[in-house]
Amino acid sequence: MTSQRTRLRMVERLRAGGLRDELVLAALASVPRHLFVDEALASRAYEDIALPIGFGQTISAPSTVGRMLELGRAGRLVDRILEIGTGCGYQAAVLSRIAREVHSVERIAALIAKARRVLREARVTNVRIKHADGSPGLAQIAPFDLIVMAAAAPQVPAELADQLSPGGRLVLPVGTREQQLVLVERTGRGFQEQRLEAVNFVPLLPGLSR
Ligand code: SAH
């Protein structure tokens, strides 16, 4: 139930559902999602559903991760990625397969400890996790070719768009009661924003937690 074959079947379903980016599909096929959830949930790890990871947080459905990465990558080779909201580390592991360097920020220390352990077990070596409030991004190590936020912000944080490299993309859920997926692209002349489909993410929260 947790084999490579199960994972490939999941990827075939995502492809049938409209996901087209082969690099993203290959990344999703290679990450053992069952390692990132509680053992009791491992048998459901390859269903296309969000699952609880403790602390009131959830791991996104594979189709959601795929959609955000396909939009964010837009066929480009991305070198450096910033992820806000490490959670269990699953999306970070998928990101690690499509970029050279992944920087991830998480506000709950206990989730970081677990994510680091599982990422090591999954032999992921190019993800750096920082315990911080990710809303202002990581100005010290910007720019990023792609910024992905896994929690919903009330509006697009201006600091984040400023940390994009030229041609860089920011993908995030925006809204409080109703959320929409938003894509911001840094073009030669500034920023271009597109509002896409309705989504359902946990909210971005302020400050740090143990
Ligand atoms: N990408 C994750 C999804 C986790 S859910 C995964 O694959 O599991 C969203 C995460 O965002 C939660 O872990 C939550 O603690 C975190 N989060 C919420 N607000 C945050 C903030 N201001 N800074 C950093 N992380 C935040």
Query: What is the pLDDT at residue 3?
Result: 85
Tokens 């400023």 -> residue: 162
Q: Would you say the C-alpha torsion 189, 193, 194, 200 has a positive or negative sign? A: positive
> Ligand 1 center to residue 17 CA distance, Å?
26
Name the amino acid, one letter, at 142: A
Query: Distance of CA 142 to CAs 31, 43, 44, 73, 203, Å?
Result: 26, 38, 37, 17, 24
- Residue whose Cα lies nearest atom 11 of ligand 1: it is 85
Provide residues with CB under 6 Å of ligand 1.
Answer: 53, 57-60, 84-85, 87-88, 90-91, 105-108, 111, 133-135, 150-151, 202, 204-205
**For 161-197, how does the pLDDT look when each residue is reduced to its tens digit (9 = 90+)?**
999 999 999 999 999 999 999 999 999 999 999 999 9
**For 155-168, how does the pLDDT look when each residue is reduced to its tens digit (9 = 90+)?**
999 999 999 999 99
The C-alpha atoms of residue 109 and residue 55 are separated, in whole angstroms, by: 11
Name the amino acid, one letter, at 152: A
Query: What is the pLDDT at residue 118?
Result: 98
Residue 199 reports pLDDT greater than 70: yes
pLDDT averaged over every residue in the chain: 97
- Residue whose Cα lies nearest atom 19 of ligand 1: it is 204
**For 56-71, how does the pLDDT look when each residue is reduced to its tens digit (9 = 90+)?**
999 999 999 999 999 9
Is residue 43 annotated as part of the catalytic site, yes or no? no
The helix, strand and coil proportions of the chain, stated in percent and rounded to the nearest 5, come to 35, 30, 35
C-alpha triplet 137, 28, 58: angle, nearest 5°? 55
Place 10 in a pLDDT band, splitting at 50, 70 and 90.
very high
The C-alpha atoms of residue 26 and residue 12 are separated, in whole angstroms, by: 11
Those residues whose C-beta lies under 8 Å from the C-beta of residue 149, and which sit 6 or more positions away, are: 83, 84, 85, 134, 160, 170, 171, 172, 173, 204
- Residue whose Cα lies nearest atom 26 of ligand 1: it is 85
Query: What is the pLDDT at residue 1?
Result: 67
Average pLDDT over residues 41-65: 96
**For 69-117, how does the pLDDT look when each residue is reduced to its tens digit (9 = 90+)?**
999 999 999 999 999 999 999 999 999 999 999 999 999 999 999 999 9
